[in-house]
Amino acid sequence: MKIERKNLSQNKVELIIEVAFDDLAIFLDKAAEKIATSMKFNGFRAGKVPLEVVKTKVGEMPIYEKAAEMVIADKYADILEQEKINPVAPPHIDILKIAPNNPLIFKIIVPLMPKIKKLGDYKKIKIKKDKILIEPQEIDSTLRAIQKSRAKEILIDRPAQNNDRVELDLEMFKDNIPIDGGQAKNISFLIGEDYYIPGLTAHLIGLKRGDEKEFIIDYPLEHYDKNLAGKPVKFKVKINNIYQVNYPDLNDDFAKSLGDFKSIDDLKKQIADNLLLEKEHKAEQKYEIAILEKMIAISDFEEIPDELIDYEAHQMVHELEHSIAGQGLSFSEYLQKIKKTEEDLKKDFYPRAIERIKISLVIKELAQKEKIDISKADLINESKVLEDAYKNQPEILTQIKSEAYQNYLRNMLLNQKVIKWLKDKIIK
């Protein structure tokens, strides 16, 4: 086997490989057998059709082409090992020459993992730690949300008034044409809270069960839906039910009903502590993003192959799909809602995919430079935590113990360790 190597732009390697005809000929019978399994040959058992018989029916070249595929698949790992190549995505393969009694010649273009030409000096990065405060109104807002979650409703037969919950049928029109997605049956609104349609619930006050009403709302110019922003929208509503919402008093008894709290002040303190933890967590995430963005900005990278960018964006699409499925939503419906195809979404992710690749390269380079590593004990301990959490789910336990997952776990722990090391050095 002869190999000619040429370095291309974008961190790709082109290999021209010549395989002797004798090596190709070994696969001809297997190729014919493979082709024969998808066809019917009278008088022959499946898998027992001679090469010449298959050749007579399908021609010579399809057999040679199938044999070439099998040769390439058989030789690919040896080629990578011989050339000391570690691809980051599937190769692009073109057959250049294939003919009876001639060597097989084919071309492989392999994308490689880019390297960092120059790692930025973390000592040049300055990030000051923010002082985190919890304002009284934040505690009050959380307390009101808890109060609303404990509210009791009574179906009533009177005109709707402020703070009532109203169930209604809704139709929306723009220029007398029904708005896409603007029709709903038995949708619920709390009068006085206009999160989705500004000014809508004020038109419901005074209506009774069974009443119908038409009215026009001028959407604000800054509304998120640009098709409706600043435009008059006609509404048709029919009231189905009206509920009076009764909220519990915010007193010591209310606090005690929620758990191990002695008073309303005790509950407020717990809310403040929880809000503080949440803000601290968000602040840590913000610091991490800022540090890594700055490290990328002051580092110099080799060209990133398109294939690697595409692969990373593809992974991001599937992460989003998994997240949406976890919320009980359909990914296809999500794509319809945002009016994009999966391919459109993947292309939108390209800039972020490039950033993620660079972050990965920075972390790997820092780990090597500063001799940061994950010990066997670290890996065992983390695996034990996961195994305890999923001890009643044998399929997940098997996955945790697999070599692929252990490699993933090690990389995840290393990323966390490097980022913590950076934060300890930079954040003051």
Q: What is the mean pLDDT of residues 244-263?
A: 95
Fold of 2-112: Alpha-Beta Plaits (3.30.70)
CATH number of 264-426: 1.10.3120.10
Three-state DSSP class for 13?
Answer: strand
**pTM for this prediction:** 0.71
- Domain ranges in the chain? 2-112, 152-246, 264-426
The sign one gets for the Cα dihedral 16, 18, 24, 25 is positive
DSSP string of 46-71? TT---HHHHHHHH-HHHHHHHHHHHH
Which of 428 and 179 is assigned the larger pLDDT?
179
What's the alpha-carbon Rg for the chain, to the nearest Å? Answer: 32
Maximal C-alpha separation, the chain:
94
pLDDT band at residue 428 using 50, 70 and 90 as cut-offs: confident
Report which of 244, 158, 228, 236 is spatially closest to residue 203, judged by C-alpha positions.
Answer: 236
pLDDT for the residue 225 = 80
pLDDT of 144-195, one tens digit each? 999 999 999 999 999 999 999 999 999 999 999 999 888 999 999 999 988 7
Chain mean position to CA 365: 25
Q: Mean pLDDT across the stretch 231-236?
A: 94
State both tokens at 147: 């109060």
Read off the pLDDT of residues 5-40 as tens digits, 9 standing for 90 and up. Answer: 999 998 999 999 999 999 999 998 888 888 777 666
Residue 135 pLDDT more than 90?
yes
Let me know if 29 is exposed, middle or buried by CB neighbors in 10 A (0-12, 13-18, 19+). middle
How many other C-beta atoms lie within 10 A of the C-beta of residue 108?
Answer: 22
210-219 confidence digits (pLDDT tens): 999 999 999 8
Low-confidence winner among 116-130, 218-232, 245-259, 399-413 (lowest mean pLDDT): 218-232
**3-class DSSP state of 179:** strand
Q: Which fold has domain 152-246?
A: Chitinase A; domain 3 (3.10.50)
As a whole-number percent, the residues of the chain with pLDDT over 90 amount to 78
pLDDT for the residue 294: 95
pLDDT in tens, 359-416: 999 999 999 999 999 999 999 999 999 999 998 898 999 999 999 899 999 999 999 9
**How confident is the model at residue 183, as a pLDDT?**
93
State how far the Cα of 35 lies from the Cα of 49, in Å rounded to an integer. Answer: 10
DSSP state of 1: -
Measured at the CA of 137, the angle between CA 135 and CA 143, to 5 degrees, comes to 115
Mean pLDDT for 332-343 is 90
Confidence of residue 49 (pLDDT cuts 50, 70, 90): low
